Amino acid sequence: MTFWSDMLENTLATVRLLPPLVAVVDDDAGVRGSLDSLLRSEGMRTQPFASARELMQSPLLEEISCVVTDLNMPETDGLALQVWLSERKSISPPIILITAYPTCQARQRALEGGAAAFLTKPVDPDTLLEAIARTLQI
Amino acid sequence: MSDEDNGEYRKGHFFILLAIGLALGICTLDILSPLQGAVAVLYTSVIVLVGLTHRQAPIVMAAAGCASLAIAGYCASHWGAPLGSPAMRLGVSLVALMITTVLVLRQLREVEERERADARYRTIFAAGGFPIWESDWSGAHGLLHKGHPIDACTVELAFAAAFVKNANLAAACLFGFERREDLVGRSLLELATPATSEALVRIYEALMHGASSVEEETRFVSRTGREFDILLQVTIPPDHDGWKRILIMGADITERKRAQERLAAAQIELAHISRVTILGELAASIAHEVNQPLTATITYARSAARWLAREAPDAHEVSECLSAITANAERAAQVIARIRDLARNSDVRHAQISLSTLIAETLELVQREMTTKGVTLTLNIESDLPPVTGDKVQLQQVLLNLLINARQAMLDTPEERRHLTVRAFRKAEKHIAVEVHDTGHGLAAGQDNLFTPFFTTKRDGMGMGFAICRTIMGQHEGSIEARSNAKGGATFVFVLPMKTDHVHGGSEGLVPQH
Ligand SMILES: Nc1ncnc2c1ncn2[C@@H]1O[C@H](COP(=O)(O)OP(=O)(O)OP(=O)(O)O)[C@@H](O)[C@H]1O
Ligand SMILES: [Mg+2]
């Protein structure tokens, strides 16, 4: 009985088209949490990750529609994550890079690598949400 | 010739006259008496009598005289008689005479020797350039051996009862007197400072525990009002007779103390400059540490506004945002407070410190500096490490120095091999070691002068980092050392004693505050 009702529920959810899943990657718990809250306030579905590696190993990877990531992170940084995503076989989700230390070099590398946006911390909510909305429409 | 010597001289004459009388008496007895005994043996008493003059010539002359008299006595009574028991008795008498003479002469030499030594010591005592005095502490001896506790009150009584019995000129000058006689007979209580009684407590304690010699540093004020630091050496001679004779030597160490104080002040100043320099180097890293929570705070605030602006405002989400705002703002404030502590030129304050917290907080400051240089950080802290005692800022400075040096050493290492490991662990029961291990260029062979001031191999290095670390560890009864790793790179370890629960039993306030 419950099996069938769960099944029905799942199917309905898919049919109803859940809001797209946005990944938030930042090694700083405070920043990560605040971005997560901001996106959810706009009705988005989010999944926070404390490192690029966590995202790479996530079972949700295929479901992600957009990645918002910090640039400066230990081990794998935002640019490396971008490269990794674009080198996979499946289509890469659009990526938005955020940094507190914007350098021309990093900006250039990000945009050449196909980043949807390159933003500076603290991010202006409207700019970020707009950028995400743009990526999701395509 | 002094009166004393004159008296001695007259006494000598008297003894000699007496001895001559005695010798003549014995001679008469020897010749006239019908006794068959060895009367001549009695001449030995003449030698002993002359010995009292303490002069060699009369003794030798007396010996010769007595021998002649004994022989003359024999000749007078037994001349021409065949050799027999009288001759034998003469022989015995002569031998006795000789032995007595030798003994008296030897004793004379010993006395002279002792007198010379005494005179020599008196000269050293009086003319020596360093202050020496002899005190009578029998009052203190009485009080303390009656079982009075060694407290401030007893010490004051004991001190008041003590007085100087003898002193040399240097001692008198030290205490501001012009002549020895001005110091002799006085109690030093009137020249004492609070530090003096503290030192006395320790001296009395040591003496009561059986020490025969104690060294203590203390401070007196001279009669002219000059305060001076002095190193006292208090010795109880074997024949002290209830502390009636205590020998005290003092060395004026005022200049040395002042120099030490100046040195300590300079070291503190230098450490401060070095800390500020480090902070400058870490500016980017620190900015990041403050920036992160500020970014979070701003974003949470905007997010809260949006949750409120929704058609159905979500009170739960808003409250989550608000608590996150508080937490992040507090975090930023903490980072700033920590930096301010490091930048401040504050007095050294020893407190109980958790090394694991200290390491975590310090790493926070250099974290970004490390990540931007591609250094991976591994932290390995033994659980339940007991606390240490120390100055937080100074210990943090030591760790910062090691971390920055390690980072600088790894600049030529390929990025993927830049590893920094910080470990903290118990060592040898009572110590905690903190180890900073890097994969940099390592120590050049024979680099054992790392810790000397101004040793540096860097173009823009000052070479004070380690010198300061070592001074700080010295002030914490700790140690610091360096070694090369087998697989390249260097490891720096500093070791601190664990905090013991032992508190200086009740004598707090008397123990000098370092
Ligand atoms: N981790 C390390 N690996 C290899 N050598 C080191 C390391 N740390 C220090 N050294 C050597 O020890 C020297 C002295 O270090 P110290 O910290 O006292 O001065 P400095 O770093 O040269 O200058 P500064 O005063 O700016 O700290 C350095 O110049 C370097 O040669
Ligand atoms: Mg250094």
Quick check: is A2 in a domain? no
pLDDT of residue B73: 83
Reported as a pLDDT band with limits 50, 70 and 90, residue B502 is: very low
Q: Per-residue pLDDT for B447 more than 80?
A: no
CA A83, A85, A88, A90 torsion-angle sign: negative
Same domain, B275 and B210: no
- Please list every residue in chain B whose beta carbon sits closer than 8 Å to the beta carbon of residue A70: none
Nearest ligand to the CA atom of B490: 1
Is the pLDDT higher at B405 or at B36? B405
Report how far residue A72's alpha carbon sits from residue A101's, in angstroms, rounded to the nearest whole number: 8
* CB crowding A31-61: b at 16 or more within 10 Å, else e: bbbbbbbbbbbbebebbbbebbeebeeeeeb
Same domain, B328 and B417: no
- For B347-404, what is each residue's pLDDT tens digit? 788 899 999 999 998 998 888 888 888 899 999 999 999 999 999 999 999 999 999 9
- For B84-138, what is each residue's pLDDT tens digit? 788 888 888 889 999 999 999 999 999 889 989 888 888 878 877 889 999 999 9
Same domain, B12 and B45: yes
**Cβ <8 Å between B320 and A37:** yes
- For B143-175, what is each residue's pLDDT tens digit? 888 888 888 888 888 888 999 999 999 999 999
Q: Per-residue pLDDT for B507 more than 60?
A: no
User: Are B183 and B171 within 8 A, CB to CB?
Assistant: yes
Is B490 strand, coil or helix? Answer: strand
Q: Which residue has the tokens 């009292």?
A: B52
Report how far residue B213's alpha carbon sits from residue B205's, in angstroms, rounded to the nearest whole number: 12
- Please list every residue in chain A whose beta carbon sits closer than 8 Å to the beta carbon of residue B292: 28, 30-31, 100
Is A48 strand, coil or helix? Answer: strand
Report how far residue B270's alpha carbon sits from residue B467's, in angstroms, rounded to the nearest whole number: 10
Q: What is the mean pLDDT of residues B328-335?
A: 93
Q: Nearest to residue B64, comparing CAs of B90, B43, B49, B78?
A: B43
CA distance B339 to chain A (A): 20
Q: Per-residue pLDDT for B429 more than 60?
A: yes
Q: What is the mean pLDDT of residues B478-492?
A: 92
Write the residue in B288, B306, B324 that is nearest to A41 by C-beta: B306
Nearest ligand to the CA atom of B442: 1
Same domain, B353 and B456: yes
Quick check: is A47 in a domain? yes
Atom 19, ligand 1: residue with shortest CA distance: B463
Domain count within chain A: 1
DSSP B437-451: EE-SS-PPTT---TT
Pocket of ligand 1, beta carbon within 6 A: B 401, 405-406, 409, 438, 440-443, 450, 455-458, 461-466, 490
**Cβ <8 Å between A125 and B302:** yes
User: Are B307 and B313 within 8 A, CB to CB?
Assistant: yes
| Ligand 1 pocket, mutate which of B398, B404, B437, B450 (most atoms under 8 A from CB) | B450
pLDDT of residue B514: 40
User: Are B218 and B229 within 8 A, CB to CB?
Assistant: yes
Q: What is the CATH number of the domain that holds B242?
A: 3.30.450.20
Q: What is the CATH number of the domain that holds A49?
A: 3.40.50.2300
pLDDT of residue A14: 58
Same domain, B329 and B306: yes
pLDDT of residue B501: 61
User: Are B175 and B222 within 8 A, CB to CB?
Assistant: yes
Q: Which amino acid is at B86?
A: P
Q: Which residue has the tokens 């002095």?
A: B230
Q: Which residue has the tokens 């001759």?
A: B87
CA distance B383 to chain A (A): 24
**Cβ <8 Å between A34 and B295:** yes
Same domain, B44 and B176: no
CA distance A63 to chain B (A): 25
ipTM of the complex: 0.86
The Å distance, Cα A74 to ligand 2 centre, comes to 24
| Mean pLDDT in consecutive groups of 10 residues from the start of chain A, 138 residues | 66 66 94 95 94 93 93 87 90 91 90 92 90 86
Same domain, B357 and B486: yes
Same domain, B364 and B472: yes
Q: Which domain holds residue A66?
A: 21-137
Q: Per-residue pLDDT for B509 more than 60?
A: no
For residue B466, give the ligand 1 atom closest to its CA: 18
Quick check: is A16 in a domain? no
Quick check: is A9 in a domain? no
User: Are B26 and B44 within 8 A, CB to CB?
Assistant: no
Report how far residue B369's alpha carbon sits from residue B465's, in angstroms, rounded to the nearest whole number: 18
Q: Which amino acid is at B68?
A: S
CA distance B288 to chain A (A): 8
- For B5-17, what is each residue's pLDDT tens digit? 677 778 888 888 8
Q: Per-residue pLDDT for B412 more than 50?
A: yes
Strand partners, B423: B380, B435
Structure tokens at B74: 């024999």
Same domain, B392 and B404: yes
Same domain, B426 and B405: yes
Q: How many CB atoms lie within 10 A of CB B390?
A: 27
Q: Per-residue pLDDT for B464 more than 60?
A: yes
For residue B401, give the ligand 1 atom closest to its CA: 17
- Please list every residue in chain B whose beta carbon sits closer than 8 Å to the beta carbon of residue A125: 299, 302-303, 306
Quick check: is A5 in a domain? no
Q: Which domain holds residue B189?
A: 132-252
Pairs across A and B, CB distance < 8 A: 76
Decide which of B103, B127, B151 is a domain's last residue. Answer: B127
Q: What is the mean pLDDT of residues B33-39?
A: 72
**Cβ <8 Å between A74 and B377:** yes
Strand partners, B249: B132, B233
Decide which of B252, B271, B303 is a domain's last residue. Answer: B252
CA B461, B466, B472, B474 torsion-angle sign: negative
Write the residue in A34, A40, A72 that is nearest to B300 by C-beta: A34
The residue of chain B nearest to residue A72, with distances taken between CA atoms, is B372
Helices (H), B282-354: 283-309, 315-343
For residue B406, give the ligand 1 atom closest to its CA: 1
Q: Per-residue pLDDT for B511 more than 70?
A: no
Decide which of B127, B162, B190 is a domain's last residue. Answer: B127
- For B216-226, what is each residue's pLDDT tens digit? 999 999 999 99
Same domain, B298 and B447: no
Query: Which of A:107-126 have CB within 8 Å of B?
Result: 121-123, 125
| pLDDT, chain B, mean | 87
Domain count within chain B: 4
Q: A38 at the B interface (CB within 8 A)?
A: yes
Atom 5, ligand 1: residue with shortest CA distance: B443
- For B170-218, what is each residue's pLDDT tens digit? 999 999 999 989 999 999 988 999 999 899 999 999 999 989 999 999 9
Same domain, B236 and B152: yes
